[in-house]
Structure 1
Amino acid sequence: MDAQNMVVRWYRNDPFGLVHRYSTSQNDTEEQRPEYQGRTEFLKENIIRGHVALRIHPIQPSDGGEYACFFENSTYYNEATFQVLVTVSGMAPHIHIESGNRRDIKLTCTSAGWYPEPELQWRDHQGLNLAPVSETKTVEENGMFHVKSSLTVDKSSTANVSCVVRNLILNVEKEVHVSMADALFLEDYTWIVWLAVILIFLAISAAICLLILRARKAKEWIKLLEKDGMEFARKYAENVTLDPDTAHPYPQVGEDKRSVKRGDILQELPKNKQQFDDLVCVLGQQIFSKGKHYWEVNVKNTMQWTLGICKNSICRQGEIMVSSETGFWTLCLSRSNNYQALANPRVILHIEEPLEIIGIFLDYEAGSVSFYNVTNKSHIYTYKQCFTEALRPYFYPGPLSSDQHGHTLTIEHLSCLEKPGRKCLCY
């Protein structure tokens, strides 16, 4: 009969308690047992014909037991009881082979995820049961059973052995076979496995040693940069000059193209694609795509300067962020009067005395740009980068000073020494 307006209840009889209640076309779970909260769903697609169902999901081993279903209204009452069996067929068993004594081989069969407690049997090639030497069945945290059984087999046997785990409710079994001939073969060649493990270990150890040596060489290279780097770099002195065609309209480039300062008047310069229209800077005329190159810049009494190199392909129109991520590898004196390497993130440099002359050394193949304090011949900072594009010297002369005159950045005159015909290793 139509049960739309009836009260439908499901109870557990052992232990007793409400599983789900449906009343006045709504679900009422106020008195529901805690272990069923959020896991029950009332199915009422055919309730007009008096057919309803309760779905429990996810199912748990503890859900097995006796249930009762009640239909009730003011003139009708009926109930039904039924038994729910929860069962799970677990994973296929696995056999582990290990050497026993000189005469025996030990086989251990394991499988997990069974409910209720399964049956485990060892069988020979004729299907006859074999007696295990040990067997354990344990209940895991999820309520499922884990089984483990061991069997000892004489090494003279060459027949197959099977481990079978059975679900007694469903009468379903899962089985694994092992060939004794294969087991003996594996045992005979165990020494080969150990030899392979030892060789792999030695190979890994050799690789680690090589990495340590490479790291030590890299540290030695850094020490060279810090100790003797400037003397080495000066062997690659370049006659660097400025390229007025790249200059923003504010910076004023000297006639000898070796000095630049920030002017207070926006110059009327011919428009060209090489010129920066927002970033107040100028590039060097030299374009470097290989080799080693060194130049020095006098920054004495100059405010907020930035020096270094940048990619020749840098977009020169619009707002540009000066950073190693955008293709600039530079050193600067910031507005807050501290020295910084404009990496990402920025690196604050602790320099005791104001810098007056800065040496810049580019080793293209080594992928490094190093900065030196020429006054005391000390190393300041080094960028490490794999260069793939042409590079150019970069100059930002800073803002106007308080007396409305920009201080000047000047490229020092250096005598180019004979350049060695060797390349430095890039660690």
Structure 2
Amino acid sequence: MAPCSCPSSVLCLLPSLLLFLQLPPGGSPERFRVFGPLQPIVAELGKDVTLPCSLYPAMSAENMELRWFRSNIVESVFTYQDGQERHEEVMAQYAGRTSLVGKFLSEGKAAVRIHRVQASDNGLYTCFFSNRDFRGQARLELQVAGVGSVPQVHISGPEEDGVCVVCIASGWFPEPQVQWRHPRGEQFLEFSKVQAQDTEGLFSVEAALVVRDSSVGSVTCSILNPILLQEKAMAIVIPEPFFPRASPWKPAFLVILPLLLLLLLGAACYTWREHSTQELQKALDELQAILDQRKAAYLTAWRKAQLYADWRKEQFWAWPVTLDPGSCDNRIVIFHHKKSLWCSYYNTQKGLFLCGLEGITSGRCYWEVEVGYPYRTEWGLGVWRKDEKTRHNDPTPRDGFWVIAHFNNIFQAFTDPSTPLPHRHIPYRVGVFLDYDHGDVSFYDMTDGSHIFSFPPESFSGTLLPYFGCYFGNVSMTICPLVAGPQKPSVPMNNPPSLEEPVSPSGEGIPSGSGVDGAPPGPEAPLLPCTPETVSS
């Protein structure tokens, strides 16, 4: 390059000086992080809702490009670019229903308001900020809920030696929980339910109950929204004349049956005396084969029964599970006398896990676990064989794991290959039943007693431990105190889990700084480290 021939040295330096003035302080583009609400935002059907996001450190977003979108950036809910709204890029579903709340743009705070919330608005959203040199984004969840009609209850007629009562309700979202209750408050667990969704995504349910006890008098059908915890109920009186009359042949049959059994016993004794020892041994072998076949069929049916969790609890011992701080990563916080855990984890490559202190080597036992936000986090529960050779990154029975999980947005059992679980809803409260001697691990939804999944039976060896997996998101679990009778799940709505008496594996407490309302978490916070796994940029 030729030497500078400018008449003045100041003029020679002018281009470099202008370039320097265009750079932000520090000589590089100013970086920032985007923060959204840590907890899901709950919105009622037909009302308006606001989805806020903010920048840290605080800076003006007036000249930035702002987007709110669903699964990918093309599915735009709202776009702000070059100082104005871009309605032509918005999805048809949100046309005319979104607007910017931007009076705090100069402070780095912005929100999009969705008007007249619909059931289809339910799900995950991403807010995106870009200043052409740097960009960042944060995920947030909108949870739509709606309370539908009061249930209509009527008697459909006699059926199976009883009276069939039908309960119908519509206009609920998400899928509501249905209960039939006795006048004394007890629940009827055996009833059929059919559900459907209309064109707007709202649920309608029809539940049928057969009442066989004429002394019941009345029953109550209740419909519960699991998010708003709002319930609507209707009772109906069942007059005794509606029950079918007892057949006069039943008393006679009860008298004749013992006589037939005595005759069969006498015939068996006579046959035993008349036949040779060889024939008797043959008959005994055939009888043993029949008994073995029936026993196998009974065990298969026993494991696959759908509504018998309360009965099965009477056959199992309540296992006193205590979480083991020494078995987990320091990102898992243990509290409530080692009965609860909380973990904020956003690494999609692998998960964290811990186990119980008390090992199991024989007998039948069970424990129950409540999962906070089971739809919005990725977690696993089950049993782990204590073995130094176990591969933790492949949690299948082949490697010593019997686990069900909500993973990759699928409720599944970790078999090889994995088994999707067609459960009508992801349970908040899960019962883990372990029969060590018969090689059986089964799972139940403890809110209604229904069966979730049973692993194929196999022969156990070594020590088995309760397993708790934290795969993605703000995972919280609590080991339930085991009391008699079905329990109503405790589902937190908008508050983070209580962290009194925290015990982390390193013995340290939980420092301040939670990253709520746009403020970043403190640099020492073990629950929300400022890493790309927490906030993608």
Q: TM-score, normalised by structure 1?
A: 0.39
Pick the structure with greater CA Rg. Answer: 1
Higher relative contact order (CA 8 A, sep 6+): 2
TM-score (norm: length of structure 2): 0.32
